Amino acid sequence: MNAGNAHPQGEPGAEEGRPETGRAGTGQSGTGQSEKGQETPPAERWIVDGLESTPRGQVARLERPDGTTGDLPLASLPGGVREGDVLAVQDGPDGVTLHLLPRESAALREAAQARLDALNGADPAEADEPAEIRL
């Protein structure tokens, strides 16, 4: 991914909470009408899979809906981005705009925690495989 056209080696654009964007753009979200009356495509959702320090600075590893990942410089993303955040990626006439989606991020975190709680609370006797290994 590169910040200039935010199409990661693999892509994050619309807002649902705070108006934080990673790059100046139209500020539109979802589908709608552009200034010239053209319909804008829906934003794609990317997930911040990880934040890493590299020799070239901080980068964010972003996961696309198809499971592919790509890296963008952390500085090109909205301020305050952290692992697990959901970003909306909107391609527009002024380039790609990235927006934090705080409600979607919170919902994703809650769902992940619920799955973890279910796994941790699962009764080993109900598992499909034996809990003990005998050699």
For 60-102, the pLDDT digits (tens) are 999 999 999 999 999 999 999 999 999 999 988 888 899 999 9
Select the more confidently predicted residue: 1 or 25: 1
Residue 133 domain flag = no
Residue 125 domain flag = no
pLDDT at 5: 42
pLDDT at 123: 66
Select the more confidently predicted residue: 36 or 8: 36
Please determine, for residue 31, whether its predicted confidence score (pLDDT) is greater than 70. no
Residue 44 domain flag = yes
Residue 34 domain flag = yes
Residue 84 domain flag = yes
Q: Rounded mean pLDDT of 34-49? A: 74
Residue 97 domain flag = yes
Q: Tell me the pLDDT band of 121, cut-offs 50, 70 and 90.
A: confident
Select the more confidently predicted residue: 110 or 125: 110
Residue 128 domain flag = no
> Which long-range contacts does 73-82 make (Cβ < 8 Å, 24+ apart)?
73/3, 75/3, 76/3, 76/6, 76/22, 76/23, 77/22, 77/48, 78/20, 78/21, 78/22, 79/20, 80/20, 81/22, 81/48, 81/51, 82/48, 82/51
Please determine, for residue 22, whether its predicted confidence score (pLDDT) is greater than 60. no
The domain of 69 spans 1-119
pLDDT at 92: 86
Q: Rounded mean pLDDT of 31-56? A: 76
The tally of domains found in the chain comes to 1
